[in-house]
Structure 1
Amino acid sequence: MSSFAATDAPVAQLTITPEPIFVLGAPRSGTSMMQWALRQHPDLWGGPESDFLIPLLSGARAAHAYGTQRGDLHWLSRMGVGEAELLRYVGAGINAMYTQRSGGLRWVEQTPQYTLHLDEMSQAFPGARFVYMLRNGRDVVNSMRNFVYPVEHAEASRIWAEFVRAGIEFSEGPLGDRMIVVPYADAVQDAAPTLAALLQLLGLRHVDDCARFITDKAPINSSFQGGERRIEWSEDEEYQFDTWAGDTMRLLGFE
């Protein structure tokens, strides 16, 4: 396991990555695979899932509300600091910390839960690009049911639909051009052209090693030994899935 020395560098000397990359999507949608593939690029750096940005950014929003409740009697209000500006400064500090640890390389973050917090994430990291992994809901549910931390069928169906709707909502919003949707099937079945196109969209030079990681390596965090397999569902399980995820599946053309 790598270790990193803490830095006491003054804030004025810290630098940030202008366009960090966040790999998002529902759990069990290939986010780990994609982040590891991108990390094979010599101009990129990444680490494990972080999760801490959820309470940090939510706390910043709560702090802004708390620190402006008395209007101009409070510093934030008097200085005209809105919630969005506060989030940008908080994000800049986190960005500087990641950039210090990356040795100045453009960093790639992969935490699926951030998909549900795209509003805060996009404000805190205004230059960030979001790579959204989109996988068939049936395959995701099968994977979640058979992972080391199994999830019940109905809950897995609900989770997939919630995460996918969050991604769709962001991609169709005013900041949608910052999101790149990558179908999981394309990444696995046609890795070379899919990764080539993704690298181009991210403004990165072509590197074969990114696609080779997917085609030549064993699956990352796979729920199944010996490869993916379709599981037959009961009538009740089909009903549960359709109740939670049917509309989203049909919207995306999965069924």
Structure 2
Amino acid sequence: MAQMMKVCGLAAVLAFCAVPFASAQTPAPSTSKFFVSANIGGQLAPRNLDTASSLTVYEEQATLSASTPIGRGILPDFGAGYRVFGDVYVGVTVSMFSKTGDAAYTASVPDPLFFNRAKTVTGTVTGLKHSELGILPQVLYTRALTDKIDFVGGVGPAIFKLKQDIVSGFTVAQGTQNITVTSASESANGTGINASIGANYNLTEKVGIGVVARYAGAKVQLPSAAKKQNVGGMQIGVGIRYNF
């Protein structure tokens, strides 16, 4: 939420500063009705995915907890918009984010012969895949600052699908304190909000390049996760826009 407030605050500052500048330049209004865009950028918010499981062995409880760090990474997105009236568009952007990482786990395993003599077992599960698909409908407002530069701001809901390989459980070899850790792939959906600001530089009447800063986030509950997981977050990108 703090990141979204920063985006909204920056949008307000840019819009306020743009008013006298735009009036002085008196740019010609855009006549485009439809646009498509493609950006390449990054998702900036790292996070951890935590899971926990337990089972009864030797008449005591064995437990396992695992944590998978999800770092920053590359984020491509593709979008389109249609002018409904004046400088107002409706549009949608689809973003994709993926990472592959490792989960560190810690297990407590009871002794097969003596009570209250649990053994701590640690290890790592490698090659766990994480992917987020974001669908971001928006109402967009554009303002021509000059004949070449446009300011763009947008807001709308955020719809995310998360697919994650997780440490799902473990087994204990009979008569020992040796464990085998299992992993599984889980998926879930979540909804949140998105808000963005950006600027486009028009190379020609139809082709432009631009930059965008966006907050798009939601919370998703995976079946085996201890709590809801954050997806999305603060995103930045640069790309190309084509006007029709």
Q: TM-score range by the shorter chain?
A: under 0.3
- Identify which of structures 1 and 2 has the higher relative contact order when contacts are C-alpha pairs closer than 8 Å and 6+ apart: 1
Taking structure 2 as the reference length, the TM-score comes to 0.22
